[in-house]
């Protein structure tokens, strides 16, 4: 016990030191635009949001916040897209993601690496003295590259030693925020038995004034946790619904549970799946945030709580509850209600299915199909209802998140012709559409890994991927163009890879999958005066190959 108390004390001292130090650091603004936020630190997306997002459209200038050196540059059609990482001498690092393009010097460096490796996707780690930058130096321009759904800058500050993400707003950045967080709903979540999962019970709430909401009395039995549906807006007419900074649970006016989004460990990102009620998300697309420590989670920003936030009817009888939510600028809203304990009620809901314990490995045979589940695939023990028939295996409805993938093996007739066999894959059926999953043929099975429950079926992609020029035609003169742009797509298994050549030389074509677009910058000087031969080779996820060949003049 003393060891853990000492460890907790050290962590609190370390965090306090970082907070105090951050308040003394005066970083340059990363963006040449107002601080209009379209995303806040720590809000819950597919993962914890490890930075802040700045609105402003495409082409806004992006600056280094301090002296340092570029320690990493990546270009990818996914993830952070075009991104720069800078290590600063004061113990912090900064990250600038989804850029549309880099500054001229960085662009020259990264393009030389792309042409050297003959790949659009690159990841480079320059040496410490290779690319130095100054405070306020231009790094690039805001954009929509990678896994982004609108032009913006994703900006991070990290502790260089631990690489933990820190809330950038701790570093003396100020911005306008005039609005209190909005509380849309209150829910009770049953934590009595993880094998039985139902949608949370919604509790009626009403707003009594600018800051306060009230709810009906809650009569409960057993173990429950509270969930809230909340968001924050910066000011009216800025319509982004952002996350809040701090959540507190007070029982009879005493704070019992709280957390604030100051620091996030990347290794804990997968626990995001537990911070929201999973059933509410997959069934109703509603984000119900838990105001308690989810069982079997390991989140450092919750560890300062002595009480895990789960209310037990045999310990708490009649009490007044106040949930307080606060944004970074200290605008707060309050949700008040009363809880009344009742006698425990045993559930009569039948337990149907195969019980999967987290600490065991399973190989489940259903018909001729096989499901392989490793230890700790799920966060908690679950009941799975698995059925199989012919070319289909149904794992049951989505009731629980995965921590790691499971393997599906569905029998396949290997006597079919080799072309048809190569075009075959396992897909997940969602709303009558089959979503492609990368698959392999092994022995008499087709296999695939998945991280969600649902219905899976053997499917086939026999349609060749398509390509179509956008801003030029066969034998047209492109001298007045800045780029060569083409639509490239495959509606079933997706584009796996592509290569482009001009007069037999590899040419850099950037890929933007959100727009089914590839494009080449003619200033790369690969094209020559006169007639040029353009050849593009590409294939889809199952290996259907196609080529595009044309003549253009310059």
Residue 286 token pair: 């509603």
Give CA–CA dist 481/473, Å, rounded: 12
Residue 418 token pair: 């080799």
How much of the chain is helix, strand and coil, in % rounded to 5?
15, 45, 45
pLDDT at 504 over 50: yes
Residues 6+ apart with CB under 8 A from 513: 77, 78, 494, 495
Q: Which of 128, 144, 27 is nearest to 85 (CA)?
A: 128
User: Mind listing the pLDDT tens digit for each residue in 294-320?
Assistant: 998 999 999 899 999 999 998 888 999
User: Mind listing the pLDDT tens digit for each residue in 115-149?
Assistant: 999 999 999 999 998 999 999 999 999 999 999 98
User: Mind listing the pLDDT tens digit for each residue in 331-368?
Assistant: 999 999 999 998 766 666 677 889 999 999 999 999 89
pLDDT band at 22 (very low <50, low <70, confident <90, very high): low
Q: How far is CA 391 from the centre of its chain?
A: 32
Judge whether 410 and 288 are in contact, CB under 8 Å: no
Give CA–CA dist 156/72, Å, rounded: 14
Compute CA distances 437 → 261, 446, 458, whole Å: 35, 11, 10
Q: How far is CA 351 from the centre of its chain?
A: 33
In this predicted structure, what is the pLDDT of residue 16?
A: 46
Q: How far is CA 422 from the centre of its chain?
A: 32
* pTM reported for the whole predicted model: 0.90
Residue 91 token pair: 């113990």
Q: Which of 223, 187, 214 is nearest to 316 (CA)?
A: 223
Give CA–CA dist 407/445, Å, rounded: 12
The architecture in CATH of the region 466-553 reads Sandwich (2.60)
Helix H, strand E, coil C: the string for 53-107 is EECCCCCCEEECCCCEEEEEEEECCCCCCEEEEEECCCCEEEEEEEEEEECHHHH
In this predicted structure, what is the pLDDT of residue 239?
A: 80
Report the mean per-residue pLDDT for the chain: 91
Q: Which of 494, 495, 471 is nearest to 550 (CA)?
A: 471
The highest-level CATH class for domain 354-460 is: mainly beta
pLDDT at 17 over 50: no
Judge whether 145 and 78 are in contact, CB under 8 Å: no
Strand bridging mode 387-389 / 392-394: antiparallel
What does the domain layout of the chain look like in residue ranges? 2-170, 182-341, 354-460, 466-553
DSSP string covering 467-484, please?
EEESS--TT-B-TT-SEE
User: Mind listing the pLDDT tens digit for each residue in 367-382?
Assistant: 899 999 999 999 999 9
pLDDT at 104 over 50: yes
The torsion region of residue 396 among left (phi > 0), alpha (psi -120 to 50) and beta comes to left
Return the half-sphere exposure (C-beta side, CA atoms, 13 A cut-off) of residue 547: 6
Judge whether 60 and 31 are in contact, CB under 8 Å: yes
Q: How many residues does the chain have?
A: 554
User: Mind listing the pLDDT tens digit for each residue in 486-497?
Assistant: 999 999 999 999
Rounded (5°) CA angle 458-363-279: 70
* Phi, psi dihedrals of residue 5, rounded to the nearest 5°: -65, -40
Give CA–CA dist 325/211, Å, rounded: 10
User: Mind listing the pLDDT tens digit for each residue in 51-97?
Assistant: 999 988 899 999 999 999 999 999 999 999 999 999 999 999 999 99
The highest-level CATH class for domain 2-170 is: mainly beta
What is the maximal distance between C-alpha atoms in the chain? 87
pLDDT at 238 over 50: yes
Judge whether 114 and 122 are in contact, CB under 8 Å: yes
Neighbour count for residue 102 (Cβ, 10 Å)? 24
pLDDT at 33 over 90: no
Cα-Cα-Cα-Cα torsion 67, 72, 78, 81, nearest 10 degrees, comes to 30
Give CA–CA dist 419/436, Å, rounded: 18
């Amino acid at each position: 016990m003393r060891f853990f108390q000492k460890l907790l004390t050290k962590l609190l001292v370390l965090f306090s030191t970082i907070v105090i130090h951050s308040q003394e650091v005066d970083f340059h603004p990363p963006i040449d635009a107002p601080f209009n936020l379209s995303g806040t630190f720590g809000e819950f997306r597919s993962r914890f949001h490890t930075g802040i997002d700045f609105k402003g459209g495409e082409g806004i200038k992006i600056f280094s916040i301090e002296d340092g050196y570029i320690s990493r540059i990546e270009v990818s059609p996914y993830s952070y897209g075009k991104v720069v990482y800078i290590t600063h001498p004061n113990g912090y690092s900064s990250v600038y993601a989804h850029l549309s393009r880099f500054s001229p010097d960085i662009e020259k460096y990264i393009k030389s690496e792309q042409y050297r490796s003959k790949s659009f996707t690159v990841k480079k780690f320059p040496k410490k003295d290779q690319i130095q930058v100054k405070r306020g130096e231009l790094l690039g321009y805001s954009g929509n590259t990678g896994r982004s759904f609108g032009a913006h800058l994703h900006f991070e500050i990290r502790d260089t030693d631990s690489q933990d993400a820190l809330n950038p707003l701790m570093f003396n950045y100020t911005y306008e925020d005039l609005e209190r967080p909005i509380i849309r709903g209150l829910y009770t979540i049953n934590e009595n038995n993880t094998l039985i999962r139902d949608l949370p019970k919604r509790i009626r709430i009403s707003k009594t004034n600018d800051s306060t909401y009230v709810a009906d009395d809650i009569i409960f039995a057993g173990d429950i946790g509270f969930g809230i549906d909340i968001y924050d807006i910066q000011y009216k007419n800025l319509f982004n619904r952002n996350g809040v900074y701090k959540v507190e649970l007070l029982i009879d006016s005493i704070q019992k549970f709280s957390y604030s989004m100051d620091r996030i460990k990347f290794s804990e990102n997968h626990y995001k799946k537990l911070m929201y009620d999973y059933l509410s998300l997959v069934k109703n697309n509603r984000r119900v945030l838990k105001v308690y420590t989810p069982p079997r989670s390991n989140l450092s920003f919750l560890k300062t709580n002595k009480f895990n936030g789960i209310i037990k009817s045999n310990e708490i009888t009649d009490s007044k509850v106040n949930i307080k939510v606060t944004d970074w600028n200290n605008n707060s809203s309050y949700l008040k209600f009363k809880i009344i304990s009742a006698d425990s009620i045993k559930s009569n809901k039948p337990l149907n299915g195969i019980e999967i314990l987290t600490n065991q490995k399973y190989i489940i045979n259903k018909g001729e199909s096989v499901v392989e589940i490793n230890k700790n695939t799920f966060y908690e023990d679950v009941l799975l209802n698995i059925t199989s028939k012919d070319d289909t295996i149904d794992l049951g409805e989505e009731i629980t998140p995965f921590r790691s993938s499971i393997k599906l093996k569905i029998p396949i007739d290997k006597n079919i012709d080799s072309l048809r066999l190569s075009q075959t894959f396992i897909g997940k059926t969602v709303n009558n559409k089959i979503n492609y999953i990368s698959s392999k043929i092994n022995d008499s099975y087709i296999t695939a890994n998945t991280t969600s429950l649902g219905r899976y079926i053997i499917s086939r992609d026999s349609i060749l991927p398509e390509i179509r020029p956008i801003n030029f035609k066969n034998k047209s003169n492109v001298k007045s163009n800045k780029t060569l742009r083409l639509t490239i797509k495959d509606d079933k298994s997706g584009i796996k890879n592509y290569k482009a050549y001009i007069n037999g030389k590899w040419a850099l074509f950037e890929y933007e999958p959100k727009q089914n677009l590839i494009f080449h910058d003619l200033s790369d000087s690969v094209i020559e005066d006169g007639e040029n031969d353009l050849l593009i080779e590409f294939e889809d996820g199952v290996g259907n190959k196609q080529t595009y060949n044309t003549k253009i003049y310059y």
